[in-house]
Structure 1
Amino acid sequence: MRSKRLQTDCLKQFMVVGGWMLFLSMMIGGASFAKDPSVVPADKNAEGWIALFNGTDTSGWEMFGDATEWTVKEGILENVGTGGGWLGTVATFGDFDLIVEWQVSKGGNSGIFFRAGTEDVPWVDGFESQIDEDDTHNPTGSIYNHLAAKKVPSPDEQWNTTEIHAEGPSIVVKVNGQEVVNGQDESFTHGRIGLQMHDNNSTVRFRKVWIRPLGLKSLYNGKDFTGWKVRIPKDRKVEIKVEDGAIRIQGGPGYVESQEDYGDFHARFRIKTLPKDNSSSNSGIFIRGPRFPGDDYVGWPEGLEAQVFNQNGDFITGGWYHFMKASGVYAQDEEWFWMDINAVENRYQSWVNGMPAATWVDPENRFIKGIIGLQAHDPKSVIFYSGAELVELAPHKKLN
């Protein structure tokens, strides 16, 4: 039988070890909880999720109405009672999955707009998923004045989550994990995502705004150049071939062009670059470029270029070359990364590894429709492209 002293010593050791384990568990759990919710993890990005809010500022959004005092602090987007208005994405989306984490003040009112236009208020010229715990006719989650939601708890002054699945006329909404809407409405097919500031008495906060565009179809079969044309100058040493399921581009100038022309779309590419002379390999994804007949022009493709260059410089990966720099370096050489491109009318946005990289609105609307070109830039650059996917989009309009 153990002595009382031995039992006491064992108990103390257990409490010390247990205390440290609890402390470490809290630290690990806390670190996990403290991760910036605006950042899309690599596994989710590989599934197609991208962030609409970067956790830092309102890049990629436009302000409408009187509510202009949107601020970002510690990764939270906030508006404190500055009147009616909304933030709308520059990008346009059609079918998608959307996740938004939000919080409103006591008695507060807000909403999440989707497939919204800007010709009228977005709950008329688009869909609104309501945020209002006290609204008896359109409780939180309702598609305002279209599809009423089943009421579930969504407490004011606490973080809540709305999930929206919009595919064709089908709309499914979940609030805090519970399905509250499952219906059909074909009034709108394309438009912006929006966050509402309803009135002077409400405070609204958002911290996680992720979207996954749906309906993308593969442009590249992973085997050969079906659907593409390789364009290489006769006097240049350029090698473009399929290797281990990817398009391998070495040398330049030259490019691979799509056989189809595209205007409004959301596209997604999987890319890897190799280092080059203490720098990075250089390439670019050209969109809405002209198609030259025969071999009249074989150099670099033309059109609007989303840069591929993983080094600090004037234009790095995700930047719109000559027009808008990327907000940061989100990819590195020798590692596969994803680039998303959204182009509708004269508005362009890019994402790299799920993070918003560059947004540009062309005041001259100079690029309308054309090829997608994968650039061979220079003799020493080596680039791999795989996983090219695209869904065609359309400008916003009301159907009925």
Structure 2
Amino acid sequence: MVRLIALWLTLCGFVCPGFAEERPGLPAKEAAEGWLMLFDGTTTFGWTIQGKAAVKDGCLVLGGDQETLATTNASFGRVAVAFDAHAQGGNGVRLVLGSREEMLPAASSKGLTRCAFVLDMAMQAAPIQFRVPAGTSLTLKDLRCLPLGLKPVFTGKDLAGWKELSGSRARFEAGDGELHLRAGPGDLQSAEQWADFVLQLDVKTRGPQMNAGVLIRGQPDQAGSGYEVQIRNQWQGDDRTRVVDYGTGGIHNRVPARLIAANDGEWSTMTVMAHGRTIVVWINGYPVCEFTDTRVQGKTASQGAKLDRGPIAIHGDDRNLDVSFRNIKLAELPRPKP
């Protein structure tokens, strides 16, 4: 039925909002817990590979006849990492986070072995790496991570620690663990400021074609400032990769989401990692967007690469908004050295 509606809308020249159908990403419970897919099962998106890599039957295969280094483009401070692994041809495969290394188990005749580690970089956030020596092939499946140490930045009871910016037409209300954004436009901005961090929150759009966002590294008391992580569950026809207006998880005016991994009327978990010039976004655990700002550093994100501290904000664009947020939490990442 959903596909028939989507087809009718397409034939009539309309685009399809986020109808409640099966979405990409992790199951709702795992997504809500904060787990993130480091490998989407079909591509090497989110990785920089030095050496050999291939995707086969839903697995990421690294190495072979030459040494291979696979590095995430996202960086982490304290993180749990879990995956299924099988090494062939030798040992010495290492999982690395900065100066921390873990040796992977020796190859098992039973095939894939479930592995789990907790890695902690207290001094400086770093990417996750797999180092595969020459002559060894490493097969990985269900590769995911869980950022640790996030703390609430929204009480769920009131707007303490936040302020509605002057000129806002939106209505922001807090209670029962949720923050409600109605009407618009307008911004609710945090009093505290951050530069490098992992931010997680749950969001529900309570109608079709809602247009909102989360602003990061903004300017205090300046509406609409910062990088905007878009909230818009809308795509063309029945193809979630044909996103409208950058799509949920896209960086507005910079890089669109790869696909829409959220549905209207359902709680979805958004994760934003900002570290130095790189911003990575997951929706329901699925990696949807990656942006590295190569511009000359500027005072604001509209003028250049905004690297220093700034507030975050819940941002509404349209008058017909009805969007809810909950479980807004954040872990600051150790800053990269100059």
Normalising by structure 2, what TM-score?
A: 0.82
How do residues 32-43 of structure 1 correspond to structure 2 at under 5 angstroms? 40-43=26-29
CA distance in 2, matches of 1:215, 1:80: 33
SS of alignment partner, residue 90 of structure 2: coil
1:353 to 2:273 alignment: no
Instruction: Return the offset for 1:317.
Output: 0.6
Q: Assess, with a 3 A threshold, how the Cα gap between structure 1 residues 104 and 371 changes in structure 2: closer, same or farther.
A: same
Letter in 2 for 1:57: T
- Does structure 1 residue 389 correspond to structure 2 residue 325? no
Match of 2:43 in 1: 57
SS at match of 1:206: strand
Shift in CA distance, 103/156, structure 1 to aligned 2, threshold 3 Å:
same
Letter in 2 for 1:304: Y
CA contact (8 A) 1:105 1:157 kept: no
Structure 1, 244-253 or 210-219: larger mean CA deviation: 244-253
Match of 1:72 among 55, 65, 78: 55
Corresponding position of 1:216: 150
Equivalence map 1:1-400=2 (5 Å): 40-64=26-50, 67=51, 69-114=52-97, 116=98, 126-131=99-104, 133=106, 154-155=107-108, 158-167=111-120, 190-199=125-134, 201-233=135-167, 236=169, 238-275=170-207, 279-292=208-221, 300-312=223-235, 313-364=244-295, 365=297, 366-368=305-307, 369-395=309-335
Shift of 1:80: 4.5
Q: Deviations over 1:121-148 (max 9, x none)?
A: xxxxx22211363xxxxxxxxxxxxxxx
CA apart distance, 1:206: 0.8
Q: Deviations over 1:258-311 (max 9, x none)?
A: 001110100101111022xxx42110001001113xxxx5xx421111110111
- Tell me the percent identity: 27
Ranked by relative contact order (alpha carbons within 8 Å, sequence separation 6 or more), the top structure is 2
Q: CA deviation at 1:74?
A: 2.1
Amino acid aligned to 2:174: V
1:389 and 1:87 map into 2 onto residues whose CA distance is: 29
Q: Distance in 2 between matches of 1:61 and 1:162?
A: 20
Q: Which amino acid aligns with 1:251?
A: A
Equivalent position SS for 1:45: helix
Measure, in 2, the Cα distance between the counterparts of 1:82 and 1:347. Answer: 32
Larger of the two Rg values belongs to structure: 1
SS in 1 for 2:31: helix
In the alignment, residue 118 of structure 2 is paired with which amino acid?
H
- Paired positions, count: 297
| Structure 1 residue 165: Cα displacement | 1.8
Using the size of structure 1 for normalisation, the TM-score is 0.70
Contact 1:90/1:348 (CA < 8 Å) preserved in 2?
no
- RMSD value, Cα: 2.1
Distance 2:62 2:313 in 1: 41
Instruction: Give the ranges of 4+ consecutive aligned residues of structure 1 lying more than 6 Å apart after TM superposition.
Output: none
Paired residues of 1:318 and 1:358 also in contact (CA < 8 A): yes
